[in-house]
């Protein structure tokens, strides 16, 4: 078991790829013991665990990591993920809920079965993870959820995704107020266009170039850009930020 007197503990859902993976690596480098939550790709999760431990070693931080498989919408599986964190590391200080789906469709053409799957992961999944976080986070802890800057951009074909993330924002800001007296912060991070497999999938080079040109900084975000903000919110330096939705998008909106 990791020495909990010197290590804080983070649970990161969606930790096997994209932004979630980068968050797991950053938190490990910052000295956290990290539980890498994942849905199905055991090989990717194990690769993230190895990379997180390498990042911790390179930083001299002494962080460590373990994988934990869980469908975020399954309350028993998510409870098991938190149980694993407590059994291995002694408790949970930070929860980063990065798991999500992003199907693209116009409202008129959306298959409602796809909508149901989207809401199951993005809304129910957020609620299930937030519920465990609310019950188990130690004093001084943080829950960080993920919204999207698409809510401000209002781009066509993002309607279903934006609707699900609007629900995430509402839940996040209310939970921050419900945890009064617990010394636990609850914030949402809302990335803009970010160069992940999830975002780049199905887009041609012209579309990617157009989106990259929109922010005043004239580039796509990177997973490391987002992970830096998450790491700040998870740190003592960020603990006075609470009940906020933070758009991390290079000034696009």
Q: Which of 38, 119, 158, 161 is catalytic?
A: 161
Q: Which of 249, 241, 221 is nearest to 19 (CA)?
A: 221
% of the chain residues with pLDDT over 70: 97
Domain membership flag for residue 186: yes
- Give per-residue pLDDT as tens, 203-220: 888 988 988 999 999 999
Query: For position 175, what pLDDT does the model report?
Result: 98
Average pLDDT over residues 134-163: 96
Q: Which residue intervals of the chain are DSSP H helices?
A: 18-29, 42-59, 75-89, 112-119, 125-136, 150-153, 159-178, 197-200, 205-213, 223-234
Identify the DSSP state of 155.
Answer: -
pLDDT tier at 198, thresholds 50, 70, 90: confident
Quote the number of domains for the chain: 1
Buried (b) or exposed (e) across 185-204, using 16+ Cβ within 10 A?
bbbbbbbbbbbbeebeeeee
We report the CATH number of the domain holding residue 82 as: 3.40.50.720
Whether the pLDDT of residue 252 is over 80: the answer is yes
Per the CB < 8 A criterion, the answer to whether 28 and 61 are in contact is yes
pLDDT tier at 3, thresholds 50, 70, 90: very low
Q: Is 161 a catalytic residue?
A: yes
Lowest mean pLDDT across 14-28, 53-67, 225-239: 53-67
Domain membership flag for residue 3: no
Strands 142-146 and 64-69: unpaired
> CA–CA separation, 9 vs 93, rounded Å?
5
| pLDDT averaged over every residue in the chain | 94
Domain membership flag for residue 2: no
Domain membership flag for residue 127: yes
Average pLDDT over residues 184-199: 91
pLDDT tier at 244, thresholds 50, 70, 90: very high
Q: Could you give the 3-state DSSP secondary structure of residue 145?
A: strand
Average pLDDT over residues 214-227: 94
Strands 33-38 and 64-69: parallel
Domain membership flag for residue 57: yes
Domain membership flag for residue 15: yes
Identify the DSSP state of 123.
Answer: I
Q: Which domain holds residue 125?
A: 9-248
Domain membership flag for residue 1: no
> CA–CA separation, 99 vs 12, rounded Å?
8
Average pLDDT over residues 140-168: 96
In angstroms, what CA-CA distances link 36 with 158, 215, 232, 253?
28, 31, 19, 31
């Amino acid at each position: 078991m990791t020495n909990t007197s010197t290590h804080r503990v983070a649970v990161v859902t969606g930790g096997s790829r994209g932004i979630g993976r980068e968050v797991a690596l950053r938190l490990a480098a910052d000295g956290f013991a990290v539980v890498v939550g994942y849905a199905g790709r055991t090989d990717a999760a194990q690769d993230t665990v190895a990379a997180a431990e390498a990042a911790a070693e390179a930083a001299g931080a002494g962080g460590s990591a373990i994988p934990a498989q869980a469908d975020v919408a399954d309350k028993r599986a998510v409870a098991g993920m938190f149980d694993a964190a407590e059994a291995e590391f002694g408790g949970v200080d930070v929860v980063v809920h990065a798991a999500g789906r992003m199907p693209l469709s116009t409202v008129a053409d959306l298959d409602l079965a796809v909508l149901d799957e989207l809401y199951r992961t993005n809304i129910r999944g957020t609620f299930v993870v937030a519920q465990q976080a609310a019950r188990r986070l130690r004093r001084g802890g943080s829950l960080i959820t993920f919204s999207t800057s698409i809510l401000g951009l209002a781009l066509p074909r993002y309607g279903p995704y934006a609707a699900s993330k609007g629900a995430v924002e509402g839940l996040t800001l209310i939970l921050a107020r419900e945890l009064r007296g617990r010394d636990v912060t609850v914030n949402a991070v809302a990335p803009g266009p970010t160069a992940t497999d999830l975002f780049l999938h199905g887009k041609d080079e012209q579309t990617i170039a157009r989106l990259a040109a929109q922010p005043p900084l004239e580039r796509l975000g990177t997973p490391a850009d987002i992970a830096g903000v998450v790491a700040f919110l998870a740190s003592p330096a960020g603990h006075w930020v609470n009940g906020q939705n933070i758009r991390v998008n290079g000034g696009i909106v």
